[in-house]
Amino acid sequence: MVTDKELQYWIAFSRIPGIGRVRIGHLRQRFSTLETAWKAPPSELGQAGLDLKLVETVAQWRRDIAPGGELDKLRRHNVQAYVCDDESYPSRLKEIYDYPPVLYVRGRYWNPGDCALSIVGTRRVTVYGRQVTEELCRDLVASGVTIVSGLARGVDTIAHRTAVEAGGKTIAVFGCGLDIVYPAENARLAQSIIENGSLVSEYPVGTKPKADNFPRRNRIMSGISLGVVVIEAGEKSGALITAQQALEQNREVFAVPGSILSAASRGCNHLIQRGEAKLVLTAGDILEELNLSVTARQLQINEMSAADDIELSVLKHLGGQPLHVDEICRVSGLAAAVVNSTLTVLELKGVVRQFGNLNFALARNTNEVVGTNERG
């Protein structure tokens, strides 16, 4: 886990145009710490592989950025920042080529190892699109799937709201800082998401929404997800950008078919026609394709296996991807000693597994757990 002292320099550098993950890596290699790099003279920055124009840009921005103030901004807005070296940075996101060096998260629930699916579609949703979105999201949430979307009008809004109303988890990926809700009309929904999931962004607090930011944020939506489901998309819909990014990231793409007479369904129909997306009629089609059909049964087993509220509290924060014990303590609000002893008991029950270095996940072999519980 990166220290707060070093974190402030990660954030400061990430605010500078032209400084991304690769160049931050070069700076760390040359100076060992980003604090040293931040204080280095321009001549030494050039030795880290920054060209003259970028060195001048860094020098200019350093005059306007107070690294210590960046952490104060995060605290004021209850935002957590995770650098790409952190245990709580989504391992799934690091599989894509251009993952951001810093990820900002605001919310009561953040488990980067969750089984997550992105739901995207048109802003001008039809009655059919609304009905399909609500039905699919309810069924996916019932199977333990976290719903990811972009908080935009239309399909995004319906997907988030349905997940919240169904008692599930949902993640909204922003194209601006997490202190700004866009569109503003979704401010109340954003607060509900904070209570039932997370708001996520690669943009520092204070970053205003810009048109260029939204296509870029789509790669994060697909990057943290197992796949993308497109529900109603016109021929030039932004949802198709997310689908294309998902294909490039080797994610599964699903599409809901619609009438050949509906402009809102042309994008989906073309994805299916070209073989780029799998046709979806029910949530079961998605769960089966991703081998998640046992998720609901697994969650039921886990609840049955919990002897008390403490065990249940730990279990509900675990998913299929390993999570470090420190992060389990943070999201559950339990003391380290309590979490450690509870994990030991759950591991003996066969409900959780340890993957080394104090990283834990739900047991993958459902049949073993089923057998243990049914025999017992």
Domain definitions of the chain by residue range: 1-76, 116-289, 295-375
Rama region for 282: left / alpha / beta (φ>0; ψ in -120 to 50; rest): beta
Q: Does domain 116-289 have CATH number 3.30.2270.10?
A: no
Assign a CATH topology to domain 295-375: Arc Repressor Mutant, subunit A (1.10.10)
Per-residue confidence (pLDDT) for residue 236, from 0 to 100: 83
Per-residue confidence (pLDDT) for residue 303, from 0 to 100: 53
- The structure's pTM equals 0.78
Measured between its terminal Cα atoms, the distance across the chain in Å is 40
Per-residue confidence (pLDDT) for residue 312, from 0 to 100: 83
Assign a CATH topology to domain 1-76: DNA polymerase; domain 1 (1.10.150)
> Rounded to 5 degrees, what are φ and ψ at 37?
-65, -40
In angstroms, rounded to a whole number, what is the distance separating the alpha carbons of residues 104 and 205? Answer: 8
Cis peptide bond upstream of 101, omega within 30: no
In angstroms, rounded to a whole number, what is the distance separating the alpha carbons of residues 278 and 292? Answer: 16
> Rounded to 5 degrees, what are φ and ψ at 354?
-100, 135
Per-residue confidence (pLDDT) for residue 372, from 0 to 100: 36
Per-residue confidence (pLDDT) for residue 367, from 0 to 100: 34
Beta carbons of 156 and 119 less than 8 angstroms apart: yes
Beta carbons of 218 and 183 less than 8 angstroms apart: no
pLDDT tens track, the chain, 376 positions: 678 889 999 999 999 988 988 899 899 999 989 999 999 988 888 888 888 999 999 999 998 898 888 889 999 999 999 999 888 898 899 999 889 999 999 998 887 778 899 999 999 999 999 999 999 999 999 888 999 999 999 999 999 999 999 989 999 999 999 999 999 999 999 999 999 899 999 999 999 998 889 989 999 999 999 999 999 998 888 899 999 999 999 999 999 999 998 999 999 999 999 999 999 999 989 998 887 764 444 555 555 555 678 888 888 778 766 788 888 888 888 998 999 888 988 888 878 888 777 888 877 543 333 333 333 3
